[in-house]
Amino acid sequence: MIHPSTDTGSLGDLTTPCLLLDLQRMRRNIERLAQHLAGLNGTLRPHVKTSKCIEVTREILAGGHVNGITVSTLQEAEYFFAHGCSDILYAVGIVPAKLAAVADLTRRGCDIKIVLDSLEIAAAVAADAAQRQVTHRVMIELDSDGHRSGVRFDDDSLLDIARIIADSPHCDLVGVMTHAGESYHCRDAQSLLALAHQERDTSIAAAERIRAAGFPCPVVSIGSTPTALAIDNLDGVTEVRAGVYVFFDLVMAGIGVCDQSEIALSVLVSVSGYQKDRNRVITDGGWMALSRDRGTQSQAVDYGYGAVLDNECRAIEDLVVSGASQEHGMISRRDSTAPLPYQQLPLGGLLRILPNHACATAAQFDEFVVVDDNNHVIDRWSRTRGW
């Protein structure tokens, strides 16, 4: 919901660099996934690590078909719990040193779930729960695509982990979860759908193995933005997790998940100088504002540190941020040595840079400057930060 703010007006009143959030684009993105999952009788547990913002999360909740949230840090868990979100999945492998904070959240009424993928951590969690006399609610992380962490669905250790948690009187085995991170390397609809099926099918197979062994496994949680939008059947899945779909970014556009015109985040920067002998324009938006993420580097179209638009979100002759230092961005043409259109890049003028990775770029800022379809500033929404 929009909250009245005195900090409204034109983009020219803003101090650059700053992070712009196009409200209507974001709402359309939220509606797109909500409608897709509704058509599959699916439920969304949104990953709020991208926004780290209660106002954005409320927009997601208003979109419907949501049950709980996903976070990546305990700071996020504290922040969202303080703002009324009590059903939380902390979707990063737990380590023993963090269990005190988890126990504290649990005692205060937060239904926080933790994830693990090893016998050693499972034993540590069970021992900690017994010592603290608190119930740790646990999900087993699965490796569905060889991308990152997790245990394979057919590995013997899956059932051994399940046994440790299920046998503990102070732990609840909630279910299994996975993240199809390899979807970020897909390049067409067929490969996305195939990976979505693989993510779903291996997760269901893991749950069935756990149940067949006599242990509970009520929740089957899958998700990534590309697979969430590609999946065509959710039978056997209880929830889908996705996060960057709210904003999208150039990596998602490169995969084919969205169009560049659907990206809801941009960094507003000012033109601060020319290097005409090198055919470059300098801005005040360096990697401290844009992040060092170069996610499009391995895609068909490399946008450097971001795509360059004018202050009304219109692309300028295929310009990119080709280089970045801490507080300086260097703009040039991606594929041509033709002179830059300096008349469209006046000194002191404003530009908008589309991010490679929305999560990484948003993480550089304390707030979203919310704008409407007419590029008028209508609000400012704070973001939480830290671990």
Q: What is the pLDDT of residues 215-263, one digit of tens each?
A: 999 999 999 999 999 999 999 999 999 999 999 999 999 999 999 999 9
Q: Are residues 110 and 238 in the same domain?
A: yes
Indicate whether 307 and 169 sit together in one domain: no
Contact 39, 278 (CB under 8 A): no
Of 285, 381, 367, 268, which Cα lies nearest the Cα of 325? 285
Band of pLDDT at residue 349, cut at 50, 70 and 90: very high
Which residue among 226, 247, 268 closes a domain? 247
Are the CB atoms for 319 and 352 separated by under 8 Å? no
User: The domain that contains 48 carries what CATH number?
Assistant: 3.20.20.10
Q: How many domains does the chain have?
A: 2
Element of type H or E holding 134 = none
Instruction: Please tell me whether residues 266 and 231 are part of one structural domain.
Output: no
Contact predicate 87/69, CB 8 Å: yes
Q: Note whether 56 and 106 are same-domain residues.
A: yes
* pLDDT at 18 exceeding the cut of 80: yes
pLDDT digits (tens, 9 = 90+) for 271-286: 999 999 999 999 999 9
Whether residue 231 is found in the same domain as residue 266: no
Of 212, 247, 282, the residue at which a domain comes to its end is: 247
Tell me, yes or no, whether 275 and 213 share the same domain.
no
The more confident residue out of 2 and 20 is 20
Instruction: Tell me the C-alpha distance between 137 and 165, whole Å.
Output: 9
C-alpha torsion sign, points 122, 123, 126, 129: negative
- Structural domain harbouring 323: 260-382
Can you tell me which residue has the tokens 């059932």?
159
Q: Which residue has tokens 């009304």?
A: 312
Q: Are residues 216 and 321 in the same domain?
A: no
Residue 330 tokens, joined:
């260097």
CA–CA distance, 42 with 50 (Å, rounded to integer)? 21
Nearest to 72 by CA among 21, 43, 114, 125: 114
Neighbours of 325 (CB within 10 A): 11
Examine residue 313 and state whether it is found in any structural domain, yes or no.
yes
pLDDT in tens, 28-45: 999 999 999 999 999 999
237 and 321 part of one domain: no
Residue 210 sits in the same domain as residue 306? no
Asked if 293 contacts 356 with a C-beta cutoff of 8 angstroms, the reply is yes
Distance CA 206, CA 229 (A): 23
Whether 206 and 307 map to the same domain: the answer is no
Q: What is the pLDDT of residue 278?
A: 93
Same domain assignment for residues 139 and 105: yes
Q: What dihedral angle (degrees, nearest 10) is formed by the CA atoms of 145, 147, 151, 153?
A: 0
For 92, how many CA atoms within 13 A lie in the half-sphere containing its CB?
A: 15
